[in-house]
Every structure is written in C-alpha cells, then in structure tokens.
Amino acid sequence: MAQFTCERKLDFLNPNQKQKLSRRFRSSHEKIMPHELAVFLGVKLSQADAILIALDSAGLCNMRLLIFHTCAEAHMSSINFGIGFPPLPWKCPECGQTIDNYDDMSFDMVALVPEPVEFI
C-alpha cells in the first residue's frame, strides 16, 4: 500500500479525516470525484480538489478532466487533467454539434486510484 504524508500541503486535515481518507482509498481502482470527497470529509470543494491534485502530483492517482456538453447529463469525454481545456472547436460525440466557445461546455474532475493509499 502506498503512503501519503499530509503535512504542509494538506495540513487542514485532522487525524479523523485522514483515517476516513485512508478508508475511502482502501481499495484499488476507485473513482473519486471532488464534490463527493468534499461531502464525505466535510471539507470545502477547493480542499477536496487540493487533496486529489496533491495525490496526482505524487503519482498516486490519475486525474481526468470530464467534459460535459449541454445536450446531456453524462460526460462526453475525458482528458488527462493538467494539460488544460480541450482545444476549440470541439465536436460533441453525442449530438455532433461543433462548439467554438466554452460557455456550452462544463467540466468536472475524477481521480482514478490504481492502488490503495494510506494517509499519514
């Protein structure tokens, strides 16, 4: 099991929250979204983002940027997080519309966790 040291970057986490995180990241191949993690831990969304981005930087998870179009509730595609937004124009694979500004799109993140992580 990989270990992640929370001090400095994630110093807002208390011991109880670290325990909860370790439980949440106990199984392999988890998919975790920031808003879900924020509710689970009782932290701000920006703090949940910070946890997942810190894990991604440490190579302990793989962050993906989910791309949504207004035509559907489900995400249409995903790209690696950290390379920016998808280049425009973007063609929606669902409705076929060619989109030339980001107003008709929305984005979310998901962390794919390949192996269990213990937060210490």
Residues that bind Zn ion (CB under 5 A): 69, 71, 92, 94-95
Compare residues 1 and 71 and give the one whose CB is closer to Zn ion: 71
CB 92 to Zn ion: min, Å: 3
Contact 107, 26 (CB under 8 A): no
CB 70 to Zn ion: min, Å: 7
Compare residues 12 and 85 and give the one whose CB is closer to Zn ion: 85
State the amino acid at position 85 in one-letter form. Answer: F
Compare residues 7 and 100 and give the one whose CB is closer to Zn ion: 100
The CA distance from 12 to 24, in Å, is 18
CB 110 to Zn ion: min, Å: 19
The CA distance from 30 to 51, in Å, is 15
R_g of the chain, CA atoms, integer Å:
16
Quick check: helix, strand or coil at residue 113? strand
